[in-house]
Chains A and B, each alone.
Chain A
Amino acid sequence: MAITVKLPTQLRDAAAGAQVVAVDGATVRDALESLFAAHAELRERLCDESGAVRRFVNVYVDGEDIRFGEDLATPLSDGAQIQVLPAVAGG
């Protein structure tokens, strides 16, 4: 399935400057693995030692925080957009 991942400015240096990366996957976890396969440095930046998304990273699927869904197991439909953003903003 064709999925796009939109990266924040803080991560683009680890993705050869890309703002949007095309990936593949049926879940958020699969899509992120596909992203890490293309840009290995992003794994360490986004995930902790256990493989979970770091606590100050927010991940959205089509504008919806994945913590409202099934976290990394959240299913993706064809054409879905994943957005990664720093959690510490606002308020």
Chain B
Amino acid sequence: MGATGLRCRECATPYELDASYVCSRCFGPLEVAYDHSGLTDVGALRRRIQGGPQNIWRYADFLPLAGGPPGPSARASSRAALPAGCTPLIRADRLAERLGLGELWVKNDAANPTHSFKDRVVSVAAARARELGFEVLACASTGNLANSVAAHAAALGLESYVFIPADLEEQKVLATGVYGTNLVKIRGTYDDVNRLCTELSGERDWAFVNVNLRPYYAEGSKTIAYEVAEQLGWRTPDRVVAPVASGSLYTKIAKGFAEWLELGLIEGDEPAFHGAQAAGCAPVARAFAEGHDVCRPVRPDTIAKSLAIGTPADGPYALDLARRSGGSIEAVDDDEIRAGIRLLAETTGIFTETAGGVTAATLAKLAQSGAIGADERVVLVITGEGLKTLDAVRDTFETFEIDASFDEFCQRVEPVASGAVA
């Protein structure tokens, strides 16, 4: 495999590929280091990827497993555990037209096994946890990760502990408990949940996917970039709009494009990366606007609970990326989030959760501000499914209720309905 070790992102101290995530010298985050010097034949590499399974393991050369993709063969990994990835990239001409944009694509990551991008990161972390001999999977979650960890543990036959804020959306609680996990509701915010899990990860011999397995987990997000590039015909987009919670997904999408550009596997320039936050929890957007290099923590108050992280771990790196790539970090309020959900649904047929509403609303805001050129290729990253946050759309539209009568339909529905079409 290409992964050679872990390395501190701050002071470059090297570590073994084990279950550690923080530099013992400076407390900086550890990241997987690779040696891709053997990948010189770009044509052969593309063919190997195209011939691989229809999931993230087609990119096994760029993922940190010692034993290669799970399953008895690369082909069979299509059927191993809970395969994630290879989600649709959809040309969104009606949304582009509505916003006055040129070429717009929607990466619909709700089309994963548990309906969010988290299946990518959990697939990698769970596979690595098995390689390292762990028998218990665990996580601190704002909801989507809870679904994914519980499901992957069930698929792999591992025990699991899932820690969530007690006030999470009912849909996300139900869609976690069903898998038979130990579901622990914490009276507090996600940041309180995360503090407990950080402490627990030092005291229990468990694989916390987003704590002690975080270097491996984070690598899974790169596969969104690989897929987008492959689906665009081995090219980069000009701009990417993606949500920012901890900042891990946002920065790892950039890492994915950067790795492939460096190898000459794709054509184009590094995209500009726009991050999307909810105004009720926007520590990164605020630091971006105020010109700071670090984020001041906030207490979240937003309907976008999956993005409600008040102390974003990768905040400094997200700020670096937004500035370096010519992007930005934006914030949109709860009404704009609801409108974003409707906008995407009405123009693309994709029903996203509140996080996707944040991202769609941010795209609309960028389009209105003139930040996006008419000739630019833009990718909107939709990370989760609308059925998980139904409250966000409750009472946002009218319905007709009539008797089963042709006359009543003609009199009461048709005259109004024609005017209601978007």
A interface, CB within 8 angstroms of B: 6, 8-10, 13, 45-46, 54-58, 60, 63, 65, 67-68, 83, 85-91
Check A88 against B311 for contact (C-beta < 8 Å): no
Is A91 in contact with B248, judged by CB distance below 8 angstroms? yes
When chains A and B are docked, how far (Å) is the Cα of A11 from the Cα of B25?
Answer: 9
Interface residues in B12-30 by Cβ distance below 8 A to A read: 21-22, 24-29
Q: Could you list some 22 contacts between A and B, CB below 8 A?
A: A45-B26, A45-B27, A56-B26, A56-B28, A58-B311, A83-B195, A85-B195, A85-B198, A86-B198, A87-B27, A87-B311, A88-B29, A88-B214, A88-B314, A89-B140, A89-B197, A89-B211, A90-B190, A90-B194, A90-B246, A90-B313, A91-B194
Q: CA–CA, A45 to B24, complex, Å?
A: 8
Determine if B25 and A65 form an interchain contact, defined as CB atoms under 8 angstroms apart: no
Instruction: Return the chain B residue nearest A48 by Cβ.
Output: B26
- Specify the chain A residue showing the minimal Cβ separation from B194: A90
* Of the residues A6, A45, A55, A91, contact of B246 by C-beta under 8 Å: A91
In the assembled complex, the Cα of A48 lies from the Cα of B131 at a distance in Å of 36
A91-B312 contact given A54-B27, A86-B22, CB 8 Å threshold: yes
Is A10 a contact of B27 with CB atoms below 8 Å? yes
Tell me the minimal C-beta distance from A68 to chain B in angstroms: 7
User: Is B309's CB under 8 angstroms from A91's CB?
Assistant: yes
Using a CB–CB cutoff of 8 Å, the interface residues on chain B facing chain A are 10, 21-22, 24-29, 140, 190-195, 197-199, 201-203, 208, 210-211, 214, 245-248, 294, 296-297, 299, 309, 311-314, 316
**How distant is B407 from chain A, measured CB to nearest CB, in Å?**
57
A57's nearest neighbour on chain B, judged by CB, is B27
Assembly CA distance A83 to B210 (angstroms): 20
Whether the Cβ atoms of B210 and A90 lie closer than 8 Å is: yes
Partner of A88, one of B22, B193, B203, B296: B22
Tell me the minimal C-beta distance from B355 to chain A in angstroms. 12
Q: Select from chain A the residue with minimum beta-carbon distance to B208.
A: A89
Closest A residue by C-beta to B312? A91
Enumerate chain B residues within 8 angstroms of A87, measured Cβ to Cβ.
27, 311, 313
Instruction: Let me know if A91 and B313 touch, CB within 8 A.
Output: yes
Once the chains are docked, how many angstroms separate the CA of A46 from the CA of B25? 9
Distance, CA A16 to CA B237, complexed state (A): 53
A40 to chain B, nearest CB (A): 15
Complex partner residue of A90 from B24, B140, B199, B202, CB under 8 angstroms = B140
Residues of B within 8 A of A90 (CB): 140, 190, 193-194, 197-198, 210-211, 246, 309, 313
Shortest beta-carbon distance from B244 to chain A in Å: 10
A10 touches B140 (CB 8 A): no
* The 10 residue pairs across chains A and B that have the minimum distance between CB atoms: A91-B246, A9-B202, A90-B194, A88-B29, A86-B22, A56-B27, A89-B211, A89-B198, A88-B313, A85-B198
Could you tell me the distance between the alpha carbons of A88 and B26 in the complex, rounded to whole angstroms?
Answer: 12
Point out which of B140, B195, B312, B316 has the most chain A C-beta atoms below 10 A from its C-beta.
B195
**A60 to B: closest C-beta gap in Å:** 7
Whether A8 contacts B199 by the Cβ 8 Å rule is yes
Question: A91 vs B139: C-alpha distance in the bound complex, in angstroms?
Answer: 10
Q: Are B297 and A65 in contact (CB under 8 A)?
A: yes
**Shortest Cβ distance from A55 into B: residue:** B294
Q: Which of B21, B22, B248, B312 has the most CB of A within 10 A?
A: B22
Distance to closest chain B CB from A55 (angstroms): 6
The reply to whether A83 and B199 form a contact with Cβ atoms under 8 Å apart is yes
Q: Contacts A90-B309, A91-B194 known; list 12 others, CB within 8 Å.
A: A9-B202, A56-B27, A56-B29, A86-B21, A87-B27, A89-B208, A89-B210, A90-B198, A91-B245, A91-B248, A91-B309, A91-B314
Contacts A56-B26, A58-B311; is A88 near B21 (CB within 8 Å)? yes
Which residues from A are CB-within-8-Å of B309?
A: 90-91
Check if B27 sits within 8 Å of A60, measured CB to CB: no
Q: Which of A8, A45, A60, A68 contacts B25 (CB 8 A)?
A: A45
Contacting residues, chain B, for A45 (C-beta < 8 A): 24-27
Q: Quick one: closest B residue to A67, CB to CB?
A: B297
Structural contact, B247 and A91, CB atoms closer than 8 A: yes
Q: Which residue of A lies closest to B299 (CB)?
A: A68
Q: A88-B314, A91-B210 are in contact. Are A8 and B198 (CB under 8 A)?
A: yes
Q: Which residues of B contact A8 (CB under 8 A)?
A: 198-199, 202
